[in-house]
Structure 1
Amino acid sequence: MSQPLAALLLLLAVNGALALRICSFNIRSFGETKRENQKVMDVIVKVIKRCDIILLMEIKDNANQICPSLMERLNGNSRATTYNCEISSRLGRKTYKEQYAFIYKEKLVTVKQNYHYHDVQDGDTDVFSREPFVVWFQSPQTAVKDFVIVPLHTTPEASVKEIDELVDVYEYLKEHWKAKNFIFMGDFNAGCSYVPKKAWSSIRLRTDSKFVWLIGDQEDTTVRTSTNCAYDRIVLTGQEIVNSVVPKSSSIFDFQKAYGLTEEEALEVSDHFPVEFKLQSAKVSTNRKRSSSSKKRTRARRT
Structure 2
Amino acid sequence: MKAAVFLLLSLGGALGLKICSFNIRSFGENKVSKPEILKVILESITRCDLMLVMEIKDAKGKAFPRLISQLNRKYTGPKPEYGYVISHRLGRKTYKEQYAFVYRKKLVSVKSVYQYPDTQPEDVDAFAREPYVVWFSSPTTEIKDFVIIPIHTPPESAVKEIDELYDVYQNVSQHWKAQNFIIMGDFNAACGYVPKKEWRNIRLRSDTSFVWLTGDKLDTSVKESTKCAYDRVVLHGSTMIQAVKPESVEVYDFKTKFGLTEEEALAVSDHFPLCISVNAAKRKT
Instruction: Normalising by structure 1, report the TM-score.
Output: 0.87
C-alpha distance in 1 between matches for 2:246 and 2:233: 15
Larger Rg computed on CA atoms? 1
> Which residue identity lines up with residue 184 of structure 1 in the other structure?
I
Written as runs of structure 1 = structure 2, the 5 A alignment for 1:118-267 is 118-267=117-266
Provide Cα deviations, 1:26-54, integer angstroms capped at 9, x if missing partner.
Answer: 00000121121111011000000000000
Greater mean alpha carbon deviation, residues 107-116 or residues 65-74: 65-74
> Which residue identity lines up with residue 245 of structure 2 in the other structure?
V
Segments of structure 1 that go 5 or more residues without pairing to the other structure are 1-13, 291-303
Deviation at 1:18, TM superposition (A): 2.8
**Percent of aligned pairs sharing the same letter:** 57
Indicate yes or no: 2:264 matched with 1:275.
no
Indicate yes or no: 2:27 matched with 1:34.
no
Going from structure 1 to structure 2, the CA distance change for 1:244 and 1:80 (only over 3 Å counts) comes to farther
Q: Give the aligned partner of residue 75 of structure 1.
A: 72
The answer as to whether partners of 2:28 and 2:64 remain within 8 angstroms in 1 is no
C-alpha distance in 2 between matches for 1:94 and 1:174: 30
> Which residue identity lines up with residue 253 of structure 1 in the other structure?
Y
Provide Cα deviations, 1:250-288, integer angstroms capped at 9, x if missing partner.
Answer: 121111112211111110000001111000111xx346x
The answer as to whether partners of 1:81 and 1:105 remain within 8 angstroms in 2 is no
The answer as to whether partners of 2:58 and 2:64 remain within 8 angstroms in 1 is no
Q: Give the aligned partner of residue 23 of structure 1.
A: 20
Deviation at 1:115, TM superposition (A): 0.7
C-alpha distance in 1 between matches for 2:89 and 2:79: 32
For these two proteins, the number of residue pairs brought into alignment is 272
> Which residue identity lines up with residue 215 of structure 2 in the other structure?
G
Q: Give the aligned partner of residue 91 of structure 1.
A: 90
C-alpha distance in 2 between matches for 1:38 and 1:142: 35
Going from structure 1 to structure 2, the CA distance change for 1:278 and 1:182 (only over 3 Å counts) comes to same
The answer as to whether partners of 1:67 and 1:85 remain within 8 angstroms in 2 is no
Instruction: Normalising by structure 2, report the TM-score.
Output: 0.92
> Which residue identity lines up with residue 234 of structure 1 in the other structure?
V
Deviation at 1:79, TM superposition (A): 3.5
Provide Cα deviations, 1:84-121, integer angstroms capped at 9, x if missing partner.
Answer: 11000000000000000100000001000001001111
User: Which segments of structure 1 move beyond 2 Å, counting only runs of 4 or more?
Assistant: none
Provide Cα deviations, 1:3-40, integer angstroms capped at 9, x if missing partner.
Answer: xxxxxxxxxxx88x832000000000001211211110
Provide Cα deviations, 1:43-91, integer angstroms capped at 9, x if missing partner.
Answer: 0000000000000000001111133212211111614660011000000
| CA RMSD across the alignment | 1.5
Provide Cα deviations, 1:191-243, integer angstroms capped at 9, x if missing partner.
Answer: 11100111100101111111011111011110000111100000000111111
The answer as to whether partners of 1:252 and 1:276 remain within 8 angstroms in 2 is yes
Report the secondary structure of 1:18's partner residue. Answer: coil
The answer as to whether partners of 2:82 and 2:103 remain within 8 angstroms in 1 is yes
Q: 35, 58, 63: which is aligned to 2:60?
A: 63
Written as runs of structure 1 = structure 2, the 5 A alignment for 1:2-17 is none
Identify the structure with the greater helix proportion: 1
> Which residue identity lines up with residue 251 of structure 2 in the other structure?
I
